[in-house]
Chain A
Amino acid sequence: GESVGLHLPTLSVQEGDNSIINCAYSNSASDYFIWYKQESGKGPQFIIDIRSNMDKRQGQRVTVLLNKTVKHLSLQIAATQPGDSAVYFCAENTRDDYKLSFGAGTTVTVRA
């Protein structure tokens, strides 16, 4: 499954398919970006991060892409599993201010 457009609140994906979650940011000074996963009733869990001097970073089953030109960040999850069902947040901050600014979040539901 793939989210169309930006800021979609929900994404339903078939188990085994790839997921793409999008995020837009507005602060051109942001230079550090993080994706978090939050399961119901729990705190955010770090997934992957990327700095502004990179445009792609890969982890285990996840890839983050950064397009600074259009201020867009995406998280790709390969072979989505039921355990990936959660709310995903992007967050950003700048080198001069370590306070994180969170996006609205996307709820991902994996269909068996």
Chain B
Amino acid sequence: GAVVSQHPSWVICKSGTSVKIECRSLDFQATTMFWYRQFPKQSLMLMATSNEGSKATYEQGVEKDKFLINHASLTLSTLTVTSAHPEDSSFYICSATPSGRGNEQFFGPGTRLTVL
């Protein structure tokens, strides 16, 4: 149980284009989902907290207009990287918290984004 999927697993795009990454909780409902970014050989850095039915809360230094987050249902959150640039190339990971189990986070397999 508590499986989180991400799609796509990897994507290559041209500079200036937008890319959407999906995060799904497959066997549970998630009121809260989190989006992280991880650069090579570094730790996970929280980008934003996504709550179903409300606006995402972004961490300091993360541009909300560049990283659009939508959490329209209890099993799906999307992250759209708008006008992507090479410096946005990274490993994007989501996690989901089962409703009522505030401390626990289950992580997706990650999405490798490469911007040319």
Q: List residues of A whose CB falls within 8 A of some B CB.
A: 32, 36, 41-46, 49, 89, 93, 95, 98-105
- Nearest 10 Cβ contacts at the A-B interface: A43-B107, A102-B43, A43-B110, A44-B107, A102-B44, A43-B109, A98-B102, A32-B103, A43-B93, A105-B43
* Residues of B31-49 contacting chain A, CB below 8 A: 32, 34, 42-46, 49
Question: Contact: A43 with B108, CB < 8 Å?
Answer: yes
Asked if B28 is at the interface (CB within 8 A of a chain A CB), the reply is no
Question: Contact: B49 with A103, CB < 8 Å?
Answer: no
Highest count of chain A CB atoms <10 Å: which of B42, B91, B103, B108 = B103
17 A-B residue pairs with Cβ-Cβ distance under 8 Å, sorted by A, are A41-B110, A43-B4, A43-B93, A43-B108, A44-B107, A49-B103, A89-B43, A95-B103, A98-B32, A98-B102, A98-B103, A99-B34, A99-B46, A100-B105, A102-B43, A103-B43, A105-B43
Q: In the complex, A89 Cα to B112 Cα: how many Å?
A: 20
Asked if B97 is at the interface (CB within 8 A of a chain A CB), the reply is yes
> Given that A32-B103, A43-B108, A45-B107 are known contacts, is A98 also in contact with B97, CB under 8 Å in the complex?
yes
Q: How large is the interface on B (under 10, 10 to 19, 20 to 34, 35 or more residues)?
A: 20 to 34
Chain B, 67-80, contact with A by CB distance < 8 Å: what is the 0/1 string? 00000000000000
Q: List residues of B whose CB falls within 8 A of some A CB.
A: 4, 6, 32, 34, 42-46, 49, 91, 93, 95, 97, 102-103, 105-110, 112
Question: Contact: A100 with B32, CB < 8 Å?
Answer: no
* Extra contacts besides A36-B107, A43-B108, A89-B43 (20): CB < 8 Å: A41-B91, A41-B110, A42-B110, A43-B6, A43-B93, A43-B95, A44-B44, A44-B93, A46-B106, A49-B103, A89-B44, A95-B103, A99-B46, A100-B34, A100-B46, A100-B95, A102-B44, A102-B45, A104-B42, A105-B42
